[in-house]
Amino acid sequence: MPFYEEAGLKYFTLSSFDELGINHGFFSRRGGVSPQPWASLNVATSVGDSRENVIENRNRILGIFGKQYSDVFDTWQIHSDIVHCSESPRPVEVPHEKGDAVITSNPQIALMMVFADCVPVLFYDMKKNVCAIAHAGWQGTVKHIVCRTVEKMQEHYGCQARDIVAGIGPSIGVDHYEIGDSTEQTVKESFPEETERVLQRRSGKTYFDMWQANALLLERFPLRSIEIAGICTACDVQTWYSHRAENGNTGRFAAVLNVKT
């Protein structure tokens, strides 16, 4: 689980993806052009930052992989269980489709999704050379977006679960993720057999372990491997954006994945 520094950017990678030579990274908030409260490598226009800043920031990130912002396939993330496959980038003048997972087998495309506490889950099928990113906040987690993503890889690309490696990136850890009664009820309904493994109780409060919850879902297939970065965004807002720790007034960092040529 190394950190790299390149071209003024600092990013984190998954060891299991590095071993396969896959272009990918979770980009810290350092090294971009956005002012506060988005300082500085914000990649989302939905948070009030300017389009010019976001394009510059995206280009700095994508340049590390020899790509630019027009090579991206991304979606308008809505905490759903909708999965999109694409073999071409999203034309920059075309509005995003709504959805919370993206899949491609095209090396010309960089998949990108944006995060600030929600769980980024990366997938790579080493035999079919197909990659995917899922966005799993608490809603995506209880809707099992990661399962819908693997199922789509199987249906659309003929992937086998045993060939897929997965990685759970920087996101809010259980220690910082207190939930209320109605969310707790939804989690219990979504994980009836595993409630005790995904919920923790301390001092009368309930905490949701989204890393564990998504890993448990993926173990059902099972996949070839599941790596958990174990990096909490709310613990380190100098490095990551955290919606919870910054009271919703912050940017979004990028998870990027690109199929091998």
Q: How many Å apart are CA 200 and CA 213, to the nearest integer?
A: 12
CB of 100 to Zn ion, least distance (A): 23
For residue 208, give the nearest of 184, 191, 189 by alpha carbon: 184
Number of residues written out for the chain? 261
Q: Which residue sits closest to Zn ion, CB atoms considered?
A: 232
Q: Would you say 159 or 232 has its CB closer to Zn ion?
A: 232
226 or 232: CB nearest Zn ion: 232
* CA pair distance 244, 59, nearest whole angstrom: 27
Q: How far is the CB of 49 from Zn ion (least distance, A)?
A: 25
Residues forming the site for Zn ion (CB under 5 A): 173, 175-176, 232, 234-235
Smallest distance from the beta carbon of 170 to Zn ion, in angstroms?
10
Closer residue to Zn ion in complex, CB, 162/202 = 202
We find the least distance from the C-beta atom of residue 134 to Zn ion, in angstroms, to be 21
Q: Closer to Zn ion by CB, 50 or 239: give it.
A: 239
Query: Could you tell me the smallest distance in angstroms from the CB atom of residue 191 to Zn ion?
Result: 21
Task: Give the residue from 163, 157, 216, 165 showing the smallest Cα distance to 19.
Answer: 165
Alpha carbon 1 to chain centroid, angstroms: 16
Instruction: Considering the complex, state which of residue 1 and residue 161 has its C-beta at the smaller distance from Zn ion.
Output: 1
Tell me the closest approach of the beta carbon of residue 233 to Zn ion, in angstroms: 7
Quick one: 19 or 175, whose CB is closer to Zn ion?
Answer: 175
How far is Cα 69 from Cα 119, in angstroms, rounded to an integer?
23
Q: Cβ 174 to Zn ion, closest distance in Å? A: 8
CB-wise, 149 or 233, nearer to Zn ion?
Answer: 233
